[in-house]
């Protein structure tokens, strides 16, 4: 089975729609297309307890956990609010993503 195509890419600014971090904004650090999840900077933080080893010290580490793609929306480049993603073709023939709310291109 092939991975579904995600409309949100690495480096995009997104808004969290549901959950404990609802309303938070952040940058997408990584996409996991096979799981339909993304990792957003500073959102959905979890604590990981690491055991001490020869490679490094142990301790408690805070890191971002993946969040489902349906719980995030692209932040509109104009207003910063949540927006859906669409596609359009420029006169040069290049296909680009656009924010549905304002019509601005997303890069």
Strand ranges in the chain using DSSP code E only, listed in sequence order: 13-16, 25-32, 37-40, 45-50, 59-64, 67-68, 72-75, 82-83, 85-89, 95-99, 105-106
Report pLDDT digits (tens) over 61-100.
999 999 999 999 999 999 999 999 999 999 999 999 999 9
Report pLDDT digits (tens) over 1-14.
677 889 999 999 99
Question: Which domain covers residue 39, as residue numbers?
Answer: 13-77
Given this model, what pLDDT does residue 97 score? 95
37 assigned to some structural domain = yes
7 assigned to some structural domain = no
Instruction: Report the number of distinct structural domains present in the chain.
Output: 1
89 assigned to some structural domain = no
Given this model, what pLDDT does residue 107 score? 78
Which CATH number is 37's domain given?
2.30.30.30
Task: Report the candidate in 5, 9, 24 with the shortest Cα–Cα distance to residue 82.
Answer: 24
Q: Judge whether residue 105 has pLDDT over 80.
A: yes
Q: Judge whether residue 45 has pLDDT over 70.
A: yes
38 assigned to some structural domain = yes
Task: Report the candidate in 4, 7, 2, 3 with the shortest Cα–Cα distance to residue 73.
Answer: 7
102 assigned to some structural domain = no
């Amino acid at each position: 089975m092939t991975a579904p195509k995600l409309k949100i890419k690495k480096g995009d600014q997104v808004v969290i729609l549901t959950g404990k971090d609802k309303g938070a904004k952040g940058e997408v650090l990584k996409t996991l297309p096979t799981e339909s999840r993304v990792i957003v900077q500073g959102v959905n933080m979890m604590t990981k307890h690491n055991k001490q080893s020869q490679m490094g010290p142990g301790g408690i580490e805070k890191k971002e956990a993946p969040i489902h793609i349906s719980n995030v929306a692209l932040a509109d480049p104009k207003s910063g609010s949540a927006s859906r993603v669409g596609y359009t073709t420029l006169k040069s023939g290049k296909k680009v993503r656009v924010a549905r709310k304002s019509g601005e291109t997303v890069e």
